[in-house]
Structure 1
């Protein structure tokens, strides 16, 4: 008796009550995780819809000269960063390389070339360019041996962006339109929710 005489007046809780509390806690966690996953799916859908409006996407074979030149520019930027305490956004340097590369592609009209040259001459500093170019990057696409160019600009460069896409399409690029497909993590979450009966795959 001495071994348990100092127990509080309420005594030990019944094992059944403790088991019920654990089960309720597990249910709450499961509910929270389901709602969090659903919110993540909702947010991911909106992000993809916004990307479709705000960004231009062009696909290339990995060996395409546009990819080669932009990758060289990226490596130069990375090496240059080691020697400077401050550096502008890498997106701006990739954009500058893109303009120079597009201006030297074989299928290009004189009018298109003039538009590209005019833009290059007007943007005489990274600070000025940063006001109208927000994203410009090259990364691996889902398909094997394919790279994806993504860029986003201010409305003032809408005509230039159209010219770039037109020239790239005429020189082997594939301009993508519409809402992009779900990413790998979004698909995995959707699959789990569907199996739980908590989500429609449509």
Structure 2
């Protein structure tokens, strides 16, 4: 037992043991540490840059995008989802050939056609949607007017997020679409979108490293 205690007492921490130079006389361990330090600083700088970019992207979305949360089984949601699946299937069938139009154009057209069948649609909004549909013979015509039209699962289970961005001439059509969706339980969003789960995770890790001070109270979630 005494011998075992002496052995323990004679041990030194790894940090206390001098690492000899390499055969060429260079201090390689020191170079490795310097390289690791650069990588660590690069990771922190990249994380901060990504958070800044994400914040600006959400601010731009608040200026350019129109968003509404609707039930996943709503006719408009189903129509847009089906349009996306059909587009992807067609793209696979025509592999190697460029598609005639963006998937956003087909999603928009599907949303308009589905909205025209909703019973809660007012006569005024129905007229707006019908005139738009009648003036559009193919989705390709909308290439200069529909910039974004997509639906994706929202944070709350059983709901989808519809995100749309259109040109000024189509704003009345978009307003009619959102009005009928709002009358059927849709939740129209305003302001800067909340941070994503990845943003929150990166912020938390930076704070734990002492590289990110808690921000002042703001209007962001």
Which category describes the TM-score, using the shorter chain as reference length? 0.7 to 0.9
User: Aligned residue for 1:70?
Assistant: 80
1-side partners of 2:90 and 2:35: how far apart? 54
User: Aligned residue for 1:12?
Assistant: 24
Give aligned pairs, total: 190
Q: Deviations over 1:33-90 (max 9, x none)?
A: 1111101100010001111111111111222222222223333333444554442211
2-side partners of 1:34 and 1:105: how far apart? 51
2-side partners of 1:183 and 1:97: how far apart? 28
Using the TM superposition, give the Cα deviation of residue 155 of structure 1 relative to its aligned residue in structure 2, in angstroms: 2.1
Using the TM superposition, give the Cα deviation of residue 27 of structure 1 relative to its aligned residue in structure 2, in angstroms: 1.5
TM-score (normalised: structure 1):
0.85
Q: Conserved in 2, the CA contact under 8 Å of 1:105 and 1:171? A: no
User: Aligned residue for 2:33?
Assistant: 23
User: Aligned residue for 1:138?
Assistant: 151
TM-score (normalised: structure 2):
0.79
Q: Deviations over 1:156-195 (max 9, x none)?
A: 2222222221111011211111111111221111111011
Residue number among 149, 152, 168 corresponding to 2:165 in the alignment: 152
User: Aligned residue for 1:101?
Assistant: 114
User: Aligned residue for 1:91?
Assistant: 104
Q: Conserved in 1, the CA contact under 8 Å of 2:206 and 2:212? A: yes
Q: Which has the higher contact order (CA 8 A, sep 6+)?
A: 1
User: Aligned residue for 1:188?
Assistant: 201
Q: Conserved in 2, the CA contact under 8 Å of 1:106 and 1:171? A: no
3-state SS of 2:157 partner: coil
1-side partners of 2:35 and 2:81: how far apart? 51
5+ residue gaps, structure 2: 1-22, 216-221
Q: CA separation of 1:120/1:188 partners in 2, compared to 1, >3 Å: closer, same or farther?
A: same
